[in-house]
Structure 1
Amino acid sequence: MSHDHGSDRTDASTDEQTADHRRDDTAGDRTGDASGGYADGVARRVDAVSRRNFLRTAAGAGAATALGLGITGSAAADGIPTPWLHRDGNLIRDPSDNEVILRGVNVPDAKRMNAKEFRPDADETIARATNAEEGWYSRIVRLPIQPTDVGGHDTGGIPPVPGFSQSQLESYVQNHLRPAVDTCAEHNVYCIVDYHRHRGQDEAHAYDSEGIDEELTMFWETVAPEFAEDSNVLFEVYNEPIHPFQGHYEPNVDVDPTDDEAIETWNTWKAAAQPWVDTIREHAPRNLILIGSPRWSQWTYQAPRNEFDGDNLAYTGHVYGHQNLRPLSEYFGEPAEEVPVFMTEFGWGENGANYITGTADDEGQEFLDFFADYDVHWQVWCFDSKWRPAMLDHDWSVKPYGEFWREELAAHRDQDVPDGEVDTGTDDDTPTDTATPTATPTATPTATPTATPTDTPTPSGPTSTPTPTDAPNTPTDTPATDALVINDYDGDPAWSANRNDLGQWCGAGSFANGSGEVEDGALVLAYDNGGWYQEQINRDVSDYDTLVLSVAGASGGEESEVRFSMGGASGMLADVTDDSIGTTLSTVAVDMASAGVDRTSSSLSLRLNFWQGGSSRLRIDGVRLE
């Protein structure tokens, strides 16, 4: 499903199975000299520690400030610990055996960014994607390395095989890839070094061709040893191998990835790719290796049926608006119950071919439900203004699509992260803060960008639904004496501190009144087809049966306009409660077992979203478990 982001044309097919769809609107970097994009041609690989000190000083001062990115010198202290990770069944764990789920974004090719044609360079882009002060909580950044850019080819064309020489590859690694990986380390996030070939459907470009084998062998024999000692680096073997796959040469035949006939495709792919996996492992014994599949990495379903040989292996999946890959639970969820799955590309666009178009209400909600139900790692496409679907506009303001995923990253900011200390790059002996799944966040998530684009989903606010005047300031019910209070909004702790009564993170955004306002001991959320609210619990609550919200609405009946998510359960609030929201404070109770809530989850949270098309005003006096 990938795209050399050059032109807007597809390679050879426009049906929903093709995926060459993300395009850069500019010509990009077409130089192929040994300078690697630098005028003097001098090698620019800088020691990681020196770069860490330099960038921490310069992060808030140079071109980033000129672009209005708002990046400060404290940005390098954001992020999470990045120890070595290992596979345990279908899970990824840290050295303390905590489960880790890595959520983040894709960025463009580093050399393409460093050409600075209508976009910031790689350092600036990675800094923004991980900047907590702007509300970005990417815990992993995927770095695509395109043969087009490594070899200096026309960005609108199909790179030849081989796509680059050994000297061009070494120059690229030295001048672009190593600095980008170091920048990820400086900002305390993981990164995926992704061999990003995805174009060409002739025999020369087949993944089992001799030329492709020579190209990938050269690539990984050079790249794997370079990053073998970087604990924050994961390797993605081959972004999107296309063919051969069963049915490829017969236009009227569509072999589903779940069919028995698909086994032949997977076996062909494994025979071709196993040597590349072995090459990586020979040079890099500890890094996680991510393995794609034929037909643009859409055949993830077959991975558990014949796994690759080796340790610390995981598998990737790519899907956009493809209706032939729905339900997501079948094609990607079922394998995720047996092997680790990374959705290293997914998303939707407002326009384009059928396989990429979608909406937040449909495709967006499908992805949210899928990620809530399965332990899948995800890296959304794309943190850029030109590679589509783009999360940013040309002035680098955040599009509604980008805001959708920024909010989701913020909602999971402290969940499923490794245990340990965050490297702030300081040289003194002062102890650093420990980042754990329940750690105090470095900065409060920002629900809207500093410079709000005119097409953001943030509404101006309802004008016909005033706060009910008959709502009492106190709830009419009396909580049980053994109730577990999640948040009573009494100011201790303050809502603005993003901490609830359990000491866990809480927050909201994209409402007509911003992140909500506390009035007379209740949280008021004004919504107009937008907004999200979350209370993290982060503990086993098996001793409790019922979630209780003390709530009132401006009009009543708001339970039909609010979507409920908790412990893997997801649906409209009206579907998980027998109660209705009235115009005076009353309780709305959810039987957690009946709703399908996993009460044993150590990362349990309550999330409400308001993107279903309604406009009203909610007053939440308290949330508790009984």
Structure 2
Amino acid sequence: MGGVRRWWAALLLVLVVATSCGSASPSSGVAPVQNGPLAVSVAGNRLVDQHGRTVVPRGVNRSGTQYACTSGPGTFDGPTDQPAIDAMRSWEISAVRVSLNEQCWLGINGLPVGGDAGGYRRAVTDFVNRLTASGLVVIVDLHWNAPGTQQARGQQKMPDRDHAPAFWQSVATTFAPNRAVLFDVYNEPWPATEDVTQPASDVAWACVRDGGNCPGVGFTAAGSQELVNAVRSTGAVNPILVGGPQFAGVLDKWLTYRPDDPRHQLVASIHIYGPPPNETACTPKACWDATIAPVAKVVPVVIGEMGNMDCRSSLVDPLMDWADQHGIGYLAWGWVTSDCASEPALISNYNGTPTPYGAAVRRHLAKQ
């Protein structure tokens, strides 16, 4: 998380494979057990499995791997064993988004605390492998980072050119053989200092794609194009999620400023939180119709994060309904047990007991 929520941010997606035995509508239910390991790819404006069946992401964000390693020792906040995964699956999810720390993965600037890069990588990789072995799709994202010798103890306005390309080369090399893993190149870009209630400028959009010296960013940024290039330089063909500016809160110019992917495996990502006063840029339904739906006609769209900041469901209920109608996936934040007044926590304990907000998400997932 970040954006209007970054003041408390110092705190996998479950892709619901929506299919029937033949062609599938966007709102169809969880797919049957796959014949062999799941392989997800982009086909036109859909995510599909290895049999060409539509895959629609519906699930949760599993937070912790971005910050637990900065206090150490340890990689996770809460359990990640098979019973913990089974608790997530009991919500009828089929994908999990896992938030990573750039420097804990690379083992630089004194991170991870009390450990080393090898231990962090093994812990994350083993968790991801347990998730995919359980039939889940995983999205790994670059969540916390920092330039130079500064420790990655929070989210920056942009990925840094110092370390982010190396991070993605390593992550992509690690997970390329697992085609149930998707890559989200950066959690929430927010270059420039713009009013999130207004359209993002072309300058901000260009910064997100091209990086370099961006207004409001105090270091040399890595753009989405060079991060896509870093992934593809490894030979990995996994789909790549790319967000826009304003904390990944807008998609209005995504088609104009999307990076080039020689594999044609890009997915547009947006984050949506509310209600006011803690709303993101595209909270009203009119914005969904005007700016998200047109993109979803061209490429797959995933709501990489969504949540009600008041622990209720006034935003997520209509958002999930709307997304189902348009074949758009969504990943609720977050599978964490923090105070629901501080962030949209789905659960009160790791056996899956929902908060009031989480109960609404769980009810909706059960209907799919």
Q: TM-score range by the shorter chain?
A: 0.7 to 0.9
**1:122 deviation in Å?**
5.3
Q: Given the alignment of the two structures, is residue 299 of structure 1 paired with residue 238 of structure 2, yes or no? A: no
**1:99 deviation in Å?**
1.8
Instruction: Write out per-residue CA displacement over residues 42-93 of structure 1, whole angstroms, 9 at most, x where no aligned residue.
Output: xxxxxxxxxxxxxxxxxxxxxxxxxxxxxxxxxxxx9843522221222112
C-alpha contact 2:140 2:181 (8 A) present in aligned 1? yes
**1:409 deviation in Å?**
1.8
Q: Given the alignment of the two structures, is residue 403 of structure 1 paired with residue 359 of structure 2, yes or no? A: yes
Of the three residues 190, 196, 202, the one matched with 1:242 is 190
For residues 165 and 76 of structure 2, the distance between their equivalents in structure 1, rounded to whole angstroms, comes to 31
Structure with greater contact order relative to length (CA < 8 Å, sep ≥ 6):
2
Which residue does the alignment assign to 2:17? none
Q: So what's the TM-score if we normalise by structure 2?
A: 0.73
**1:163 deviation in Å?**
8.3
Structure 1 stretches of 5 or more lacking a match? 4-16, 26-77, 153-160, 352-358, 413-626
* SS of equivalent residue, structure 2 residue 163: helix
C-alpha contact 2:57 2:94 (8 A) present in aligned 1? yes
Which residue does the alignment assign to 1:343? 303
State the AA in 2 paired with 1:340.
P
C-alpha contact 2:60 2:96 (8 A) present in aligned 1? yes
**Alignment CA distance shift 1:283-1:199 (3 Å):** closer
| 1:64-463 alignment runs, 5 A limit | 80-81=33-34, 83-110=38-65, 112=68, 115=74, 119-121=78-80, 123-131=82-90, 136-147=91-102, 164=111, 168-174=116-122, 176-197=123-144, 205-207=156-158, 212-244=160-192, 248=193, 255-257=198-200, 262-271=201-210, 272-310=223-261, 311=263, 312-321=265-274, 322=279, 324-325=281-282, 326-327=284-285, 328-350=288-310, 359-360=312-313, 362-386=314-338, 388-394=343-349, 396=351, 397-412=353-368
Runs of 4 or more consecutive aligned structure 1 residues displaced over 6 Å after TM superposition: none
Percent identity among equivalent residues? 22
How many residue pairs end up in the alignment?
310
C-alpha contact 1:319 1:345 (8 A) present in aligned 2? yes
For residues 122 and 185 of structure 1, the distance between their equivalents in structure 2, rounded to whole angstroms, comes to 13
**1:128 deviation in Å?**
1.4
**1:213 deviation in Å?**
1.0
C-alpha contact 1:123 1:183 (8 A) present in aligned 2? yes
For residues 172 and 117 of structure 1, the distance between their equivalents in structure 2, rounded to whole angstroms, comes to 10
State the AA in 2 paired with 1:172.
Y
For residues 235 and 178 of structure 1, the distance between their equivalents in structure 2, rounded to whole angstroms, comes to 14
**1:278 deviation in Å?**
0.9
State the AA in 1 paired with 2:49.
D
For residues 297 and 199 of structure 1, the distance between their equivalents in structure 2, rounded to whole angstroms, comes to 18
| 1:535-550 alignment runs, 5 A limit | none
C-alpha contact 2:41 2:49 (8 A) present in aligned 1? yes
* SS of equivalent residue, structure 2 residue 308: coil
* SS of equivalent residue, structure 2 residue 206: helix
**Alignment CA distance shift 1:282-1:335 (3 Å):** same
**1:205 deviation in Å?**
4.4
Structure 2 stretches of 5 or more lacking a match? 12-30, 211-222
For residues 77 and 120 of structure 2, the distance between their equivalents in structure 1, rounded to whole angstroms, comes to 21
For residues 195 and 94 of structure 1, the distance between their equivalents in structure 2, rounded to whole angstroms, comes to 24
User: RMSD of the alignment, in Å?
Assistant: 3.4
* SS of equivalent residue, structure 2 residue 5: coil
Which residue does the alignment assign to 1:519? none
**1:395 deviation in Å?**
7.2
C-alpha contact 1:197 1:240 (8 A) present in aligned 2? no
C-alpha contact 1:80 1:189 (8 A) present in aligned 2? no
* SS of equivalent residue, structure 2 residue 161: helix
**Alignment CA distance shift 1:395-1:379 (3 Å):** closer
C-alpha contact 2:320 2:330 (8 A) present in aligned 1? no
**Alignment CA distance shift 1:182-1:323 (3 Å):** closer
State the AA in 1 paired with 2:136.
V
Greater fraction helix: 2
**1:304 deviation in Å?**
1.4
For residues 179 and 280 of structure 2, the distance between their equivalents in structure 1, rounded to whole angstroms, comes to 37
Larger radius of gyration: 1
For residues 313 and 222 of structure 1, the distance between their equivalents in structure 2, rounded to whole angstroms, comes to 19
